[in-house]
Amino acid sequence: MALLAAIPMAFIPAFFFSWFLYWLDRYEKEPRWLLLMTFFWGGFVAIIGTLIIASIFEIGFSIVLNDPVLEDIAGGSITAPLVEEFMKGLAVLAVFLIFRKEFDSILDGIIYGGIAGLGFAATENVFYFLSQFDAEGWAGMFTNFALRVGVFAWGHPFYTAFTGLGFAVARMNRNLLVKLTAPVVGYFLAVLAHAFHNTSLVFVTGLGSLALVVLLEWAGWLIFLGFIIWLIRHEQGLLKKHLREEVANGLISEAQYKTAVSFFQFGARIAALSGGVFRATNHFYQYLGELAHKKEQFAKFGDERGNAAIIQKLRSNIAALAPQAKT
């Protein structure tokens, strides 16, 4: 019975938070199937890998420290951050290497890192909820739910977003040194943020110290959200820069341009629903976002991995959909 309650309590909020990250990716959304695979990696592959590797670490700490208290501190402050961030980061690495064409911006790295973190958090929460149920019954389980899904909800996606940021910086830079070091720096920032959370909770002795930890973590999350909003505005600038040429060339209309660069496209979506062309309109504006990003990559990196051919294909798709797309 507890398991039937724990699974939706953990996964429904994780799916909602994942949708929020997907919504933040305004102009060039990542493929939903790839995001789902990233979530799956975080929620299952990374969990299994963590359990195996962490067990080896625990044996080592047990031999070296031979003190249950120190072993618990080492497990939370060293093992968990190092191993969990490594396993979650492998999902971002896989996208970076295998689906490089989908890795188009700094924001993309943050989205993939956050989604991997949410998948990990969902499965981990199931274990925590069941553990608290065994120890304190339903009251303990719901209290743990309030803490892990309410108070500390953005922990794992926040940590792994740094790893995604590191890979994204490497993707968008031509300097070899930056390409090699940025993912490593991103990973260790993720580890440090994770270690801060776990270590600070060890020293929580009352509501005052807990409130201080919560305040510091939420401040960090809100600052990072501000950074994401800045990235969204930057992407908006890219669309304005690269799609103006498409208006001049007659590929899209001025009204379609204004809708494409708008943060909100509700009017076009509603009009498309009533007009029966929602799918065409949705694809049209997605292709415009992709076109702007590919043109930016072409300007920076040249015909890397067939950027020129991709740009031409996107223009053909846009031309075919333009007569149906609502504004």
Indicate the Cα dihedral angle 214, 217, 218, 224, nearest 10°.
180
- Cut 0.85: pTM above it: yes
pLDDT at 57: 85
Element (H, E) at 18: helix 2-24
Looking at the chain, list the stretches that DSSP marks H as alpha helix, in order from N- to C-terminal side. 2-24, 32-40, 46-65, 68-74, 80-98, 106-145, 155-171, 176-202, 207-248, 254-261, 266-275, 278-301, 307-321
Collapsing DSSP to helix, strand or coil, 124 comes out as helix
| Angle, vertex CA 140, rays to CA 136 and CA 141, nearest 5 | 115
pLDDT at 263: 87
**Per-residue model confidence as pLDDT tens digits over 84-107:** 999 999 999 999 999 988 888 999
Q: What is the mean predicted confidence (pLDDT) over 19-43?
A: 95
Contact in structure between 74 and 202 (CB atoms under 8 Å): no
Indicate the Cα dihedral angle 183, 302, 238, 16, nearest 10°.
-40
Q: What is the mean predicted confidence (pLDDT) over 268-279?
A: 81
Q: What is the mean predicted confidence (pLDDT) over 108-112?
A: 97
**Per-residue model confidence as pLDDT tens digits over 140-165:** 999 999 999 999 999 999 999 999 99
